[in-house]
Structure 1
Amino acid sequence: MSSIAAVVFDIGNVLIEWNPERVYDRLIGPARRAALFDAVDLHGMNARVDLGEALGEAVAHLARAEPDWADEIAIWHDRWIEMASPAIPRSVRLLRALRRAEVPVFALTNFGADTFALAGEHYPFLTEFDASFVSGRLRMAKPEPEIYAALEQGTGVAPGRLLFADDRAENVAAAAARGWRTHHFTGPDGLAERLVSEGLLTEQEAA
């Protein structure tokens, strides 16, 4: 039997792709997109959403501050679900395989409270976790240690019995510093291999 008691998933670029630049490239072209992202801190705005600010309020505030780019900034709100797409099919299969194997699965994600609810409407698998620790709800975000502590306390699982998959090295490092087992996600095939090697899934289950 595996020594791992639960698997913790990041969501963006692990279960669903997150690529705002791709949407902007399609809508306004790469050159104008590059100029926009140089002039306007859209990712900083999104970080505030991740910490609990409503998406609509954050977008409206930034559009007022940057009126020359107001129409482009509005895209972040109006086309948000296109930025958080598509799902990564094999990762979703792994999540569901773990559930079938009765391995607890938790989400630990930097995500807005309202955008996480919206994403759940489009991606039902986001509602299938045993527990979800969402930065916008908790008003704390990775890689700050407090959000990892919130999961430990909320689940009662010892740090050394958690396996955490995240695409960002700093988030993985913060988990490892707390004694979590970690997997730096670079694609679903590598995660599948790790789950098999840990005895959580068979090769057939992880296919």
Structure 2
Amino acid sequence: MTIKAVVFDFGGVLIDWSPEYLFRHLIQDESERRWFLTHVCSMEWVVRQDGGQTIAEGTAELIAKFPDHEALIRAFYERWHEMIGGVLEDGVATLEKLEAADVPLFGLTNWSAETFPYAWDNFPVLRRFRDIVVSGRVKLAKPDPAIFAEMYQRIAAQLPGIEAHELVFIDDNLKNVQAANALGWHGVHHTSAAQTEARLRELSLPV
């Protein structure tokens, strides 16, 4: 088996991102915080911005539904950078092993087009990829097969003739991994760097 390229998700694999980092300061009670992040600023809502809806539109939509929570809703994107804990060093170490072996590396991330520039400016590791598909820029989001098609087209432009079974995709979200598998890619569910590297070695990658 020959793997010709590896595609990385960013959040949860290379970048430590969690709304908890901000909202545990804004909502001290854990059950209240859990309710707010499940029912108000939910991941489903976040993915709409990741998929191309503007932050202004998303914020206004949510405030109309939950006017009593306006200040907290506005804080989500106004203080978004406080949700980033930094780089995940073990994930970066995996990337560096692949990079050292000249494995072509690409990025496929669900990220708002409006907040991605902050990550680009602050985390140089993101500049080590041959190309990156940012969901907010292409107005598609994982696990939609269309965003994988966009990634595949960009990879094929650099590696002509590459086939789906020659691609590995690493993501911490199981639904995204399953979407990649359904397209014939080798999806790797990232739960720890050790487990991810073990799976990569099974695929004959040098990590």
TM normalised by structure 1 equals 0.87
Measure how far apart 1:174 and its partner are: 1.0
1:11 matches 2:16: no
**Alpha-carbon distance in structure 1 between the residues aligned to 2:64 and 2:121:** 30
Per-residue displacement from partner, 1:99-148 (whole Å, max 9, x unpaired)?
A: 22211111111111121211111211112211101111111111111111
**Alpha-carbon distance in structure 2 between the residues aligned to 1:63 and 1:126:** 33
Measure how far apart 1:33 and its partner are: 1.9
Aligned to 1:103: 103
Aligned to 1:186: 191
RMSD over equivalenced CA pairs, Å: 2.0
Equivalence map 1:1-207=2 (5 Å): 3-29=2-28, 30-37=30-37, 40-156=40-156, 157-201=162-206, 206=207
Residue 16 of structure 2 aligns to a residue whose secondary structure is coil
Deviates more, 1:57-66 or 1:74-83: 57-66
The 8 Å contact of residues 165 and 183 in structure 1, kept in 2 or not, is answered as yes
Amino acid of the residue matched to residue 8 of structure 2?
A: F
Identity of aligned residues (%): 37
**Alpha-carbon distance in structure 2 between the residues aligned to 1:50 and 1:74:** 17
Residue 106 of structure 1 aligns to a residue whose secondary structure is strand
**Alpha-carbon distance in structure 1 between the residues aligned to 2:122 and 2:100:** 22
Amino acid of the residue matched to residue 194 of structure 1?
A: R
**Alpha-carbon distance in structure 1 between the residues aligned to 2:178 and 2:71:** 38
Measure how far apart 1:38 and its partner are: 5.3
Which sections of structure 1, spanning at least 5 residues, go unmatched? none
Residue 168 of structure 2 aligns to a residue whose secondary structure is strand
Measure how far apart 1:81 and its partner are: 1.6
Measure how far apart 1:60 and its partner are: 4.4
TM normalised by structure 2 equals 0.87
Residue 10 of structure 2 aligns to a residue whose secondary structure is coil
CA gap 1:105/1:38 in 2 versus in 1, 3 angstroms:
closer
**Alpha-carbon distance in structure 1 between the residues aligned to 2:165 and 2:39:** 43
Residue 86 of structure 1 aligns to a residue whose secondary structure is strand
Query: After the TM superposition, which segments of 4 or more aligned residues of structure 1 sit over 4 Å from their partners?
Result: none
**Alpha-carbon distance in structure 2 between the residues aligned to 1:168 and 1:38:** 17
Amino acid of the residue matched to residue 169 of structure 1?
A: L
**Alpha-carbon distance in structure 2 between the residues aligned to 1:33 and 1:51:** 25
Deviates more, 1:33-42 or 1:147-156: 33-42
Per-residue displacement from partner, 1:172-203 (whole Å, max 9, x unpaired)?
A: 111111111121110111122233343332xx
